[in-house]
Amino acid sequence: MPIVDWQGNAIGQSGVVFYNGKDRAVQAARGDGSGVIIMNEVNDQQAKKLTSFIEQLAGTPEALSLAQIKAVLEMARGLGLEDTYNSDRGFVQSKMSPVGDLGADGFGLHKRDDRDICPAIRLTGEGTFAGPAATPQQFRDGAVIVRQGDNYRLIQSDVFERTYRHSDNSAVRTEELPVGTLRPSSQQKAELAATAAL
């Protein structure tokens, strides 16, 4: 059975479906060898615990079964790593640099390179964003939408301020960003029309 996004569109024949606790959204990483799961804001101690756990389970990341990958994700949640999202090896290879010796391709601590300048807008209030996640991402107290190439991603405001910088490496404050608005999806428009009719 293929894995599907929030609209029922197939995004792969196999893979792992997991929950991003920060965005309160379901994510899905392809199981064809191209998919990766990125855990955001991992410190050295958390990385060592996860690496040790993976070594105990399977020896190497490549040898993990689906059940073992889910166990690693559960352990990561227990370590406070809830901001996990899907990507692919191409993104990691072209946009990230390894931090230290990884021991396996695409595994271990990486940092985002400063090769990209991503246009961003700020959203206020609360809402949902139907982006690359398997279900719409949710935000309660504002968020930031960034454009990375042809793709758009929602990033929670606090995470954005900790993990993004201006091109001159100065800190970014979400209040400095232009305010944008999300266009309602066709489902949201139908719900609004139904509410207005009442």
Per residue in 119-176, pLDDT (tens digit) is 899 999 999 998 877 788 899 999 999 988 788 889 999 999 988 888 888 888 999 9
Instruction: Answer with the one of 112, 131, 146 that is the final residue of a domain.
Output: 112
Q: Are residues 191 and 140 in the same domain?
A: yes
- The dihedral region occupied by 103, where left means phi > 0, alpha psi between -120 and 50, and beta the remainder, is left
Residue 160 vs residues 6, 16, 21, 142: alpha-carbon distances, Å:
24, 26, 16, 11
Nearest CA among 116, 37, 96, 108 for reference residue 71: 37
CA dihedral 159, 179, 140, 152 (to 10 degrees): -60
Indicate the residue type of 158: D
**Residue 1 confidence class, pLDDT cut points 50, 70, 90:** low
Task: Tell whether the model's pLDDT for residue 78 goes beyond 80.
Answer: yes
Spatial separation of the C-alpha atoms in residues 69 and 51, rounded to whole Å? 12
pLDDT reading at 88 higher than 60: yes
Single pTM value for the model: 0.70
- Structural domain harbouring 124: 120-197
> How many structural domains comprise the chain?
2
Give the DSSP per-residue string, 27-87.
EEEESSSSEEEEESS--HHHHHHHHHHHHHHHSSGGG--HHHHHHHHHHHHHTT---EEEE
CB 4 within 8 A of CB 11: yes
HSE-up of 4 (CA within 13 Å, CB side)?
A: 6
If asked whether residues 82 and 147 sit together in one domain, one would say: no
Q: How confident is the model at residue 182 (pLDDT cuts 50, 70, 90)?
A: low
Between 99 and 37, the higher pLDDT residue: 37
End residue of a domain, out of 93, 112, 131: 112
The pLDDT value given to residue 11:
64
* Shared domain check, 143 and 90: no
**pLDDT band at residue 184 using 50, 70 and 90 as cut-offs:** low
Q: Are 131 and 154 in contact (CB under 8 A)?
A: yes
Q: Are residues 30 and 88 in the same domain?
A: yes
pLDDT in tens, 10-63: 766 788 888 888 888 888 888 888 889 989 999 989 999 999 999 999 988 889
Number of H helices, E strands in the chain: 5, 13
pLDDT at site 144: 94
